[in-house]
Structure 1
């Protein structure tokens, strides 16, 4: 009887990932795709057709929207695979999907740092006479950001290709489920990526939030009146920092715990490992939901873009109504 009970418990714990993938990841990714695609596509089209004069922060926001849109387009396939209990069969699709996912993950918070820097400098230099507020500088920073993030995730892609090769290119696994190859320390790399890709940019957001707050206080004391018009950037930057703290922290903690649990020195049994993997799965779509939330910030970063976009939408609606009336 005890053997039967232990076998039943073992069977249940080994099914945790399958259940979560089908009933949690599948619908969550589908919802994120539908909502995020609409918001990011609206922002991209609005920037292209409604904003004739771009500033430096527009370049950062547009680049982030493009990154979010590309990432969101990978979710329908993942959702389909999870719904049908299937694994990715194409090694090329496996590698490309993981590359896009992690580049988007770390480029988003990095671009938010540059946007926060831009808002701080704009308050300090309203005439835009600082070289970091120039569009050419923003383009250079954007290109360098893509290069830096790509370099950060390159070791992960190398390990993934080696793992695929060892499995005869037949099984696509998440990075946290990969085994170390050719002396690569997955846990050490993951901790380093957490530090450089998440913690340092988060500190940057906090620093610029503090600097904006301090600068506003100085300006209020100087002019002896409330600088209400400049308080919006402070609220936006602070909210962004809180968003990444809430969304990214559980994911990075559980990713490192998941990798550590698979190490020989951990001594964890199968069910404990499966429970850790289950919690890690819960954090994944939460972290990726930044692509759905980001468009909200695009509308609060600049009044001109929001006004031009709304004016364009109203114009299209009036034109549609006139066409219907004429028919």
Structure 2
């Protein structure tokens, strides 16, 4: 049995299954909590809600992938193939983008505790969220074109991963561009806001001669930057290496290509692990939502017992 088939059955399938079982309840709880518990929405709640919805939709695609890999089956429905890859990559890049806006929101909140900045208004957050969804979809459009061409070349009988697609669009150039615009630039944004929050807190401590009470935003933003750095970097590096190895000018032996693909497969569940970790940030962003959700759950539990 080929090494990629072994990894798909005994590594990808259980990993995707575990990620769904852990991530889906957490994100569903957050989405329902925001809808039924939170009456007054602030800008950060809007960004977090969009992030949770994106994660929830993506996690719903994992059971089918896990089943197909476990049974060593290929995706036979072209529509399902396209939708799955589309949802996967939209989630991949919308997650880090919404985390950037959340970091911006935390920075502005530290700088303007009275929320007098227009970027802290819920209406502004709605506009930014809508533009973010639009931007991510524009980034993914070339990949959809590549997928359709690749499916046509294989008579709609083979659903390939992004790193294995071939078509009129230059796969390597597009992958590098997507890495830059979808990952590196937002990651730099997270790092910049982390530095700005730390610098602002340091200035406040010097001015007030006491420890400030705004340490939580710094911890949240820094943790988000570290999470995406650790989870996304291996995936993007190996994806570009995998795409480059398929180029005619690479002239790599098949054995080397096989090992590159195997290592690339190892990075995929790691990249998608952010959907499991993200709910932690929802509960760290403030006590109000956490208290409302716990109170709601307690009321439901009491009614159930009665």
TM-score (norm 1): 0.92
Structure 1 equivalent of residue 298 of structure 2 = 314
For structure 2, which runs of at least 5 residues remain unmatched after alignment?
A: none
2:76 matched residue in structure 1: 89
- Structure 1 residue 254 corresponds to structure 2 residue 241: no
Measure, in 1, the Cα distance between the counterparts of 2:223 and 2:160: 34
Counterpart selection for 1:221 from 201, 206, 209:
206
Q: How many matched pairs?
A: 306
RMSD: 0.8
Residue 166 of structure 1 deviates from its aligned partner by 1.1
* Residue 235 (structure 1) aligned with residue 219 (structure 2): yes
Confirm or deny that 1:304 pairs with 2:288.
Answer: yes
Q: Write out per-residue CA displacement over residues 60-113 of structure 1, whole angstroms, 9 at most, x where no aligned residue.
A: 000010000000000000001001111100000000110000000000000000
Q: Determine the C-alpha separation between the residues in 2 that align with 1:185 and 1:162.
A: 12
Note the alpha carbon deviations across 1:151-202, whole angstroms, 9 max, x for none.
Answer: 00110110110010111111100010112x22x2110110010000000000
Q: Distance in 1 between matches of 2:179 and 2:22?
A: 28
* SS class of match (1:264): coil
Superposed CA deviations along residues 276-301 of structure 1, whole A, max 9, x for unmatched, are 00000000010001000000100001
SS in 2 for 1:251: helix
CA distance in 1, matches of 2:216, 2:3: 44
Of 121, 125, 128, which aligns to 1:141? 128
Matching of residue 25 in structure 1 with residue 12 in structure 2: yes
Q: In 2, Cα distance between the equivalents of 1:320 and 1:166?
A: 56
- 1:201-238 superposed Cα distances (whole Å, 9 cap, x missing partner): 000000000000000011111111101x2100100100
Of 219, 225, 248, the match for 1:264: 248
Larger mean Cα displacement after TM superposition, 28-37 or 306-315: 306-315
Match of 1:287 among 247, 271, 274: 271
2:158 maps to 1:171: yes
Q: Paired residue for 2:173? A: 188
Alignment-derived partner of residue 70 in structure 1? 57
* Distance of 1:318 and 1:84 partners within structure 2: 43
Matching of residue 101 in structure 1 with residue 88 in structure 2 = yes
How much has 1:317 moved relative to structure 2?
2.1
Pair member with larger Rg: 1
Post-superposition Cα deviations, 1:108-166, rounded to whole Å, max 9, x if no partner, equal 00000000000000111111111100011000000000000000011011011001011
Aligned equivalent of 2:144: 157
Aligned to 1:9: none
Which has the larger displacement, 111-120 or 184-193?
Answer: 184-193
Question: 2:112 — aligned with what?
Answer: 125
Distance 2:42 2:8 in 1: 42
